Amino acid sequence: MRSSFFGLELARRAMTTHRTNVDVIGHNLANVHTEGYRKQEAVLTPTNPYSLAGTNRLEMGTGVQVQDISRRQSRYLDREIYRRQGESAYWENRGQLLSEIEDILAEPGDSGIGAVMDQFWNCWQDLAAEPDSAAMRTAVIERGQELGDAFRMSTRQLENMMGNLEQTAASRVDRINSILSELQELDERVRTLHASDAIPSDLLDRRDVLVERLGELVDVQVRDTDGGGVRVTVDGIPVLDSYSGRRLEVQAVGAGGGGGEDGAMGFSWAREGDAGDPIEWEPSTVGELGSLVQMRNEDVPRMLSQLRELADGIRDGVNVVHSEGVTLDGDGGGEFFASEAGPGFLQVSEDITSNPKLIAAGGPEGEGDYAIAGDGRNALRLSDLRNDGELVGGSTPGEYLRSLVADLGIRAEQADQQHGNNHVMLSQLLNQRDALTGVSIDEEMTHLIQAQNAFNASARLVRVWDEMLDIVVNGLVR
């Protein structure tokens, strides 16, 4: 026979259950704008019934209980989002860095190397018309210095960009290690609570947010393990499991350093506590770090090499033709650009800057009366170098520069297009996940009203049982 207080206990349990449901709904509403929060739901189930005395067929329900507080999640969408976030971050950052190189070159434009180079060739053409003009000779020197300054400025800016890329990459390495350290700490707490049959939903949310942030930096893969933990790999290299982790280290940068003889920036994954040999690693084309490293190790050095090749081609070509001419005094021409300036640098010879008469505009030798002041045949030959297809790797200086700029523009356009495509796909995935795991205020308010009415009904049930017991206890006495 059931207790006289059976109904009161059933009503009390119902009130407690619906109050818990209200608490869960309130927690959802409080975190509606919290980054990475996944909607939680109180799973209500009937309590165990009991058989009525004298029968094996009739069972009496005993009320309701909160069996679990579930957390909405889709591991499939999470993994797809990790991948798309990394690809989107890679192409977005790459596009920005390539645009920065375009700004450095300022091509096409009035202040770029191409415009200064055209002015340099034009000055030689003007000098050919007036080879005895001191003003024209001074103009040639000034245009030569401007051309050298243009190459020098672009080279210096690209070298500064390489330094900035190194510093930025090093800061991203620190950020990766910080995320992994926090992930390991969270993973230990999750596994501890999981061992006691607790479900730490908020800790799981935080862990997923950290994995997403890590996925923006590198190509990350995540697999759930027994005991509530996760196993994190980067490009297939295990960097975090249930028992240990790795730290990312930057190898030495510079010629002969750990980064390689070409001065490339290198990385390795080392066990915590220096246990075991580190694993050398090269970032893939996923994540912000990958774009930084590719720009530092490939794109910017290639651009520097191409600019130096262009400058060296102009210097060598001009010096060869200039040496074949004669000065106003009838002497043979020497170097117009100083060869000791070094690869990639154009610097007008100090002898010429101090004495413009040494510009060998006349001649060349063996073509008649070349020693007279009015001869400008060699200046015209120097002007025609702009159309010399052998000057820079089988191309004219202008063609070489335009090819360089066009290749840069194609890569920047590709980066923008790839970022746009990945951004669209990422937005679709995020919308799908938000629809599944996100908190809807309208939906929660509806559930809140339902839970409130259920609580009120349970409270009313307590009053009914109280009145019934009052009749039994006090009414029968009278």
Asked if residues 131 and 362 have their Cβ atoms less than 8 Å apart, the reply is yes
* Host H or E run for residue 30: helix 6-30
Q: Collapse the DSSP code of 226 into the 3-class scheme (helix H, G, I; strand E, B; otherwise coil) and give the result.
A: coil
pLDDT string in tens for the chain (478-residue length): 456 677 788 888 999 999 999 999 999 999 999 998 999 999 999 988 877 665 666 777 888 999 988 899 888 999 999 999 999 999 999 999 999 999 998 887 777 889 999 999 999 999 998 888 889 999 999 999 999 999 999 999 999 999 999 999 999 999 999 999 999 999 889 988 888 888 888 999 999 999 999 999 999 999 988 888 889 999 988 888 866 788 898 886 653 333 444 578 889 888 876 656 788 888 888 899 999 999 999 999 999 999 999 999 999 999 999 988 888 888 888 899 988 877 888 999 999 999 999 998 888 765 444 445 457 888 999 999 988 878 887 889 989 999 999 999 999 999 999 999 999 999 999 999 999 999 999 999 999 999 999 999 999 988 888 788 777 777 666 5
Give the separation between CA 46 and CA 26, rounded to whole angstroms.
23
Q: What is the pLDDT of residues 279-335, one digit of tens each?
A: 888 888 889 999 999 999 999 999 999 999 999 999 999 999 998 888 888 888 889
pLDDT of residue 112: 85
Supply the pTM of this predicted model.
0.84
Q: What mean pLDDT, rounded, does the chain reach?
A: 86
User: What value does the CA radius of gyration of the chain take, rounded to a whole number of Å?
Assistant: 38
Q: How far apart, in whole angstroms, are the C-alpha atoms of residue 122 and residue 443? A: 74
Is the Cβ–Cβ distance between 373 and 380 less than 8 Å? no
Residue with tokens 């060998």: 360
Whether the CB-CB separation of 269 and 246 falls below 8 Å is answered with: yes
CA 182 to chain centre: 21
Q: What DSSP state is assigned to residue 297? A: I
pLDDT at 226: 83
Q: In 108-133, which ranges are continuous DSSP H helix? A: 113-129
Residue type for position 208 = D
